Chains A and B, each alone.
Chain A
Amino acid sequence: MLKTILGGFTAALMLSSAANATDLIIYHNWSSGPEVAALNVLKAGLEAKGHTWTDIAIPHDTGSNVNLMNLVTGGTPPNVFLESSPGVYRDLAGLGLARPLTEFFTEQGILDHYPASVVSSITVDGEIMKVPTAIHIDGMAYYNMEVAEAAGVDPATWDSLDAMFADFQKVRDAGYIPLAIGGQQWQVGYLTHALAAATGGPEFYSALYGAEPDPSVLDSAEMRALLETLRRFQQEADEGSVNREWNVTTNMVITGQALMQIHGDWMKGEWTAAGKVAGTDFGCVQIPGAKAVPVTVDSWGILGGQPEEVDAAELDFAAVVADPQIQAEFASAKGSTPTRLDAPAEVLDACSVEVLHILENADHQVPNPHSTVDADWQNSIWDVVFNFWSDPSMSVDDAIAQIQENYDIILG
């Protein structure tokens, strides 16, 4: 009895004092300069609504995100968390702590302004669960304009991978490395799904990386084309490529040793950190002749089962993240692209404008596997393609046989 009275009393106290100001605990893993600058844009927006931001940064990216679930188990869950993996949202739903946002987004009419791949990235089991905050394209070609000029090639005119490879000899003759590649497992994995979208198109891509992979495409013409293209890339890689970090690789292009790199377009951060300007020092194009581009969407989730005023504050946070002006400022601080097609273009750099232009076509984009696919399945593909990459004697047939075997074990 006493307990209920006390409980009611504290609840009333909280209601009266926190009706308009609530402290939100924000969980993320961002610490680099541009990331912090971008977070501060969100923080300013949240504070403008009268709330406060308590920060907790823990390195995660474990796929299943053990640290986040530890905080939940320990009874100190954060209110807002940066998390893309659908598994975490299902776990939270099991604990009664999920907070579906479908209603919120449809009421505000925000969904119409998101590219198609963003909407599918933030949907878990038919409900919208995440607040998208930034877009990166997984396979973009960034090239050094000075080197391109010196070698007499123009990457913007390539309309197919063959046209690209055909120009490589020219680049080599001019004394540059044509294509800088970082040969680490995750980088090869990213290149693989970028190429799957580029060469195989959206249908093949979602059969391979969708929520429910279709085993019939594992031994298809598209799969063979994909693996053969991957082999081609591996053979074009320079000698130092083995196990090289992506940002070291990017710096080869920045310092003019190499013409270009094909990688996620978060590499723009390295370019801007080195004081280079998009459109004058470096250019960016999608993979030549791409049928579709994979889109990485960094998203926030918000905690369910909260008292009303906390829930309202969490929705305020979602509204801040989704605001077009804040989207544009966030993107230019982080070096990403806004999630909204209607973000004010004058704040954006040439590469983001190009990306938003590509994303206007709903059929030309697919979500990053991390936000849709079973983590085990994704890891098994990474294993096989990295073995394939590292061992030139491994044939396309071997790789396909291994992927099929993994399919039977994991999903069959």
Chain B
Amino acid sequence: MSQVSISERAAASGEMPVARSPYFVRKKKGITPRTVAILAFLTICALFFCVPLYVVVVTSFKTMDQIREGAIFSLPHIWTLEAWDHAWNRACSGIKCDGLKVGFWNSVFILFPSLILSISLAMVTGFALALWNVRWAGAFLFLLFICAFVPFQIIMYPLIVMTTTTKIYGTLWAVAVIHAVLAMPVLTLIFRNYYKDIPTEIMSAAMMDSGSFWRIFFEIIVPMSGNILIVVLILQITSIWNDYLIGVTFGGLTGQPMTVNLANLITISTGTTNYAHNMAAALLTAIPPLVVYFLVGKLFVQGVTAGAIKG
């Protein structure tokens, strides 16, 4: 439309259309008051959001004597790693004082089976619903959509009974499986929406070549899923790692994740509180998802723009 109008105007004025003059000419600007103002504003915003983080980090390096003085913004008089060491190796979760490392490994052992289970199941289901003629696919999708909005608390007791009858209640497996099951509706919808944009020509060609559901899935669909896999991975890692309620409900005696240990350390109503230990423990618990974000954050944005939000 705009191109037509340009060439029309060009023809009307008797000029030749300009060959390839760039559309966006960026003038090199010097530093204007406007940029300074914007930068200053953004810096203040960043500082504002960093203040709590600053307090957490600094407090974790202080001694309890200094914390009792109450000046939360001051730097530590003596920098000490004692709190970090304590949180990782000696923090008590009940009478067992083995630190957060116990919960850390529990969280890791919950994370991997849960990721594999939830993502592989959701991928296959999404693929089938998007590209194959499945009976009742619409109704099934609608049902999934509804399920995505059911709060965990409502189905907690039935789930406990189900895990008990399958003899996994109170183990890491229960936590992992429940995470996978609860994530299914949303993940399936994400995959299904991503796959439904795959051109039908590709599918037709693939059908002619082999026609096998699994061959198409492994040789065509999986290689094309890179972007969306990153998105789903980050979503799942964050939600599984940060979860407390499922871990505390299904972990039983031995399968409690790191967040439960952290809560044991920190939710003290009538006992003494060591803030340095609490801050170090909170940071330790928060580090793994942060690392994931830093490593693949860029890919996350790519994935979101490539698939999930595409109309």
Which A residues fall within an 8 A CB radius of B? 25-26, 28-36, 39-40, 43, 53-59, 61, 67, 70-71, 73-76, 136, 245, 247-248, 251-252, 254-255, 264, 266, 269-270, 273-274
B210 at interface (Cβ–Cβ under 8 A)?
no
> A residues within 8 A CB of B64?
273
The stretch among B44-52, B92-100, B123-131, B191-199 that forms the contact with chain A is B92-100
* Chain A positions within 8 Å of B265 at CB level: 31
Provide the bound-state CA to CA distance between A175 and B250, in Å.
Answer: 54
Contact assessment for B253 and A73 in the assembled complex, using a CB-CB cutoff below 8 Å: no
Q: Known: A30-B94, A55-B96, A251-B68. Is A25-B253 also a contact (CB below 8 A)?
A: yes
Residue on A nearest B263 in the bound complex, by CB: A59
Contacts of A264 in B (CB 8 A): 270
CB distance from B26 to the nearest CB of A (A): 50
- Asked whether any CB of chain A lies closer than 8 Å to the CB of B169, the reply is yes
Distance from B248 Cβ to chain A, minimum over Cβ atoms (Å): 6
Which B54-72 residues sit within 8 Å CB-CB of chain A?
Answer: 64, 68-70
Contact B169 A76 (CB under 8 A): yes
**Across the interface, which residues of A come within 8 angstroms of B252, CB to CB?**
56, 71, 74, 76
Q: Which residues of B contact A245 (CB under 8 A)?
A: 273
Least distance between B16 CB and chain A CB atoms (Å): 73
Known: A25-B253, A59-B263, A255-B69. A33 touches B93 (CB 8 A): no
Interface centre among B161, B164, B253 (most CB of A within 10 A): B253
Contact between chains at A36 and B169 (CB < 8 Å): no
Instruction: Report B-chain residues with C-beta under 8 Å of the C-beta of A56.
Output: 94, 252-253
Could you tell me if A32 and B253 are in contact, using CB atoms closer than 8 angstroms? no
Question: Are the C-beta atoms of B248 and A270 separated by less than 8 Å?
Answer: no
Nearest CB of B to A277, in Å = 16
Nearest CB in chain A: distance from B61 CB, A: 19
How many of B's residues come within 8 Å of A, CB to CB? 37
List the B side residues contacting A252 at CB < 8 Å.
Answer: 70
Q: Are B70 and A255 in contact (CB under 8 A)?
A: yes
Q: Are B95 and A55 in contact (CB under 8 A)?
A: yes
- Are A34 and B270 closer than 8 Å at their CB atoms? no
> B283 in the interface, Cβ–Cβ < 8 Å?
no
Contact present for B253 and A269 (CB under 8 Å): no
Q: Measured between C-beta atoms, what is the minimum distance from B263 to chain A in Å?
A: 5
Q: With A33-B272, A255-B70 in contact, is A58–B260 under 8 Å at CB? A: yes
Provide 25 A-B residue pairs closer than 8 Å at the C-beta atoms, listed in order of the A residue. Answer: A25-B253, A30-B271, A31-B264, A32-B272, A34-B271, A36-B94, A36-B95, A36-B97, A39-B94, A39-B95, A55-B94, A56-B253, A57-B95, A58-B248, A58-B264, A59-B248, A59-B260, A70-B160, A74-B160, A74-B170, A74-B252, A76-B252, A248-B70, A251-B68, A252-B70
Chain A contacts for B156, CB-based, 8 A = 70
Q: For the complex, what is the distance from the CA of A73 to the CA of B164, rounded to whole Å?
A: 9
Q: In the complex, A39 Cα to B274 Cα: how many Å?
A: 19
A61 to B268, CA, bound (A): 10
Nearest Cβ distance between residue B244 and chain A, in whole angstroms? 9
Smallest Cβ-Cβ distance to B244: which chain A residue? A59
Report whether A29 and B160 are in contact in the complex, using a CB–CB cutoff of 8 Å. no
Q: Does residue B225 face the partner (Cβ distance < 8 Å to A)?
A: no
Shortest CB-to-CB span from A410 to chain B, Å, is 22
B32 within 8 A of A: no
Say whether A36 contacts B269, CB under 8 Å: no
3 nearest A-B residue pairs (beta carbon): A57-B94, A32-B271, A266-B270
What is the CA–CA distance of A58 and B253 in the complex, to the nearest angstrom?
9
Contact with A along B269-310 (1 / 0, CB 8 A): 111111000000000000000000000000000000000000
> Contact: B70 with A73, CB < 8 Å?
no
Q: Within the assembled complex, what's the spacing in Å between the Cα atoms of A130 and B122?
A: 49
A209 CB, min distance to chain B CBs, angstroms: 19
Decide if A61 touches B97 in the complex (CB within 8 Å): no
Interface centre among A30, A56, A76, A274 (most CB of B within 10 A): A56
CA distance A75 to B169 in the complex (A): 8
Apart from A57-B264, A76-B169, A255-B70, what are 16 other A-B pairs with CB-CB below 8 Å? A31-B93, A31-B271, A32-B273, A35-B271, A36-B94, A56-B252, A59-B260, A59-B267, A61-B267, A70-B160, A73-B161, A73-B164, A74-B163, A74-B169, A247-B272, A274-B68
Whether A136 touches B169, Cβ cut-off 8 Å, given contacts A71-B252, A76-B252, A274-B68, is: no
User: Min CB distance, B176 to chain A, in Å?
Assistant: 16
Q: How far is the CA of A247 from the CA of B260 in the complex (A)?
A: 23
Complex-state Cα separation, A28 to B56, whole angstroms:
28
- Known contacts: A34-B271, A40-B95, A269-B271. The answer to whether A254 contacts B68 by CB under 8 A is yes
Is B157 positioned at the interface, with any CB of A under 8 Å from its CB?
yes
Query: Would B271 and A136 count as touching, CB distance under 8 A?
Result: no
Nearest CB in chain B to that of A255: its residue: B68
B242 at the interface (CB under 8 A from A): no
Q: Which residues of A contact B248 (CB under 8 A)?
A: 58-59, 67
* A70-B94 contact given A30-B271, A270-B272, CB 8 Å threshold: no
Residues of A within 8 A of B250 (CB): 74
The answer to whether A31 touches B94 (Cβ under 8 A) is yes
Cβ–Cβ < 8 Å partners of A25 in chain B = 253
- With a 10 A CB-CB cut-off, give which of B68, B97, B163, B271 has the most chain A CB atoms: B271
Give B225-263 as 1s and 0s: 1 = Cβ < 8 Å from A's Cβ atoms. Answer: 000000000000000000000001110110010001001
Nearest chain B CB to A379's CB is how many angstroms away?
16
For A32, what are the chain B residues with a Cβ–Cβ distance below 8 Å? 92, 268, 271-274
A58 to B265 Cα, complex, angstroms:
10
Tell me which of B253, B263, B274 contacts A54 (CB under 8 A).
B253
Distance A255 CA – B68 CA, assembled complex (angstroms): 7
Residues of A within 8 A of B93 (CB): 31, 57
Chain B residues in 8 Å Cβ range of A53: 95
Residues of A near B268 (CB, < 8 A) are: 31-32, 35
Q: Who on chain A is nearest to B271 by CB?
A: A32
Contact between B92 and A31 (Cβ–Cβ < 8 Å)? yes
